[in-house]
């Protein structure tokens, strides 16, 4: 474990990826010029649209290229979130696993993504 409290291969089986993205986004803040893309707190519906599209196509999501109509380096069921609406996510989802939390934790605090995953395990829609 590094100074950022990162974990390798976090099992997210049974957790809705949209809930993880929504919570990660809402726990983050825009960095640098990201404030120009910031849309405030993310709703579950917005996160669901992004994760469904990204996971079905395997295309990375970031604020520059977006994921619409672009080929990605991932296969369906895998995706990487770089910046989402100006906020650094810096994590991937691959086969019900988040391979590494280092990037998210670096920008959002030691152990931040791990805490989000634990909260997401008990999340009920409408919270």
One DSSP character per residue, 20-86 reads: HHHHHHHH----GGGGGT--SSPPHHHHHHHHHHHHHHT--B-TTT-STT---SSPTTEEEEEEETT
Residue 25: CB atoms within 10 A of its CB come to 26
Average pLDDT, the chain: 84
Element (H, E) at 114: helix 112-121
Cα 124-9-15 angle, rounded to 5 deg: 15
User: What is the pLDDT averaged over residues 37-62?
Assistant: 84
| Least confident stretch, 8-12, 73-77, 116-120 | 73-77
Instruction: Sketch the domain layout of the chain as residue ranges.
Output: 8-121
Q: What is the Cα–Cα distance from 63 to 50, expressed in whole angstroms?
A: 12
Q: Following CA atoms 36, 106, 70, 33 in sequence, which dihedral angle do they give, to the nearest 10 degrees?
A: 20
**72: pLDDT strictly greater than 70:** no
Tell me the pLDDT band of 80, cut-offs 50, 70 and 90: confident
């Amino acid at each position: 474990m590094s100074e950022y409290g990162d974990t390798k291969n976090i099992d997210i089986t049974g957790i809705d990826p949209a809930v993880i993205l929504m919570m990660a986004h809402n726990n983050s803040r825009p960095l640098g010029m990201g404030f120009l893309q910031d849309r405030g707190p993310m709703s579950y519906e917005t996160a669901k649209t992004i994760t469904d599209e990204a996971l079905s196509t395997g295309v990375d999501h970031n604020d520059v290229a977006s994921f619409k109509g672009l080929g990605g380096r991932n296969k369906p069921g895998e995706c990487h979130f770089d910046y989402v609406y100006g906020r650094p996510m810096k994590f991937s989802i691959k086969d019900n696993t988040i391979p590494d939390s280092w990037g998210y934790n670096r920008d959002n605090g030691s152990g931040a993504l791990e805490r989000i995953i634990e909260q997401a395990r008990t999340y009920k829609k409408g919270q």
